[in-house]
Amino acid sequence: MGKAYLKVATVYFTIGVLAGLIMGIIHDFRLTSVHAHVNLLGWVSMALFGLIYHFYPNAANSKLAKVQFWLHNIGVPVMLGGIAAQVFGVTAALPAAIVGSMAVVLGVILFTINVFKHVGKDSSVDSNNKFSA
């Protein structure tokens, strides 16, 4: 789970910085919010999920992690596709932005539950961690 998240995160990072570069070169900033969310939900959040799941295998191997992975990986492109389409005047794309966003939010709630349930149960990790609470 951690590896899959890290790999997908780097793809979003590449798309995000390319979009930023293109926006800057052509001086068209209409997709700024899409660029920001590709970088923050795609790159930053998924890289953090990946690193957290690498350090906490009990959390990574749970059913909650699998469900959250798919909610995030389906929700983010649907949400961003919906926002991008709306920016270009396709008002019918609003439901996609809303449904995609709701999938992401639900996934984040499951991630939070997963962390509270499973982080701290990996004895080999936590015994090496001087800062574990």
Task: Work out how close the CB of 22 gets to ligand HEM at its nearest, in angstroms, rounded to a whole number.
Answer: 8
Q: What DSSP string runs through the chain? A: -HHHHHHHHHHHHHHHHHHHHHHHHHT--TTHHHHHHIIIIIIIHHHHHHHHHHH-HHHHTSHHHHHHHHHHHHHHHHHHHHHHHHHTT-GGGHHHHHHHHHHHHHHHHHHHHHHHHHTT--HHHHHT-TT--
Per CB under 6 A, 17 contacts ligand HEM: yes
Restricted to residues 20-49, the positions that interact with ligand HEM (CB under 6 A) are: 20-21, 23-24, 29, 32, 35-36, 39-40, 43-44
The smaller minimum CB distance to ligand HEM, of residues 104 and 110, is found at: 104
Nearest of 117, 115, 104 to residue 68 by alpha carbon: 104
* Minimal CB distance residue for ligand HEM: 20
The smaller minimum CB distance to ligand HEM, of residues 46 and 59, is found at: 46
The smaller minimum CB distance to ligand HEM, of residues 21 and 98, is found at: 21
The smaller minimum CB distance to ligand HEM, of residues 35 and 72, is found at: 35
Task: Work out how close the CB of 122 gets to ligand HEM at its nearest, in angstroms, rounded to a whole number.
Answer: 28
Contact residues toward ligand HEM (CB under 6 A) are 16-17, 20-21, 23-24, 29, 32, 35-36, 39-40, 43-44
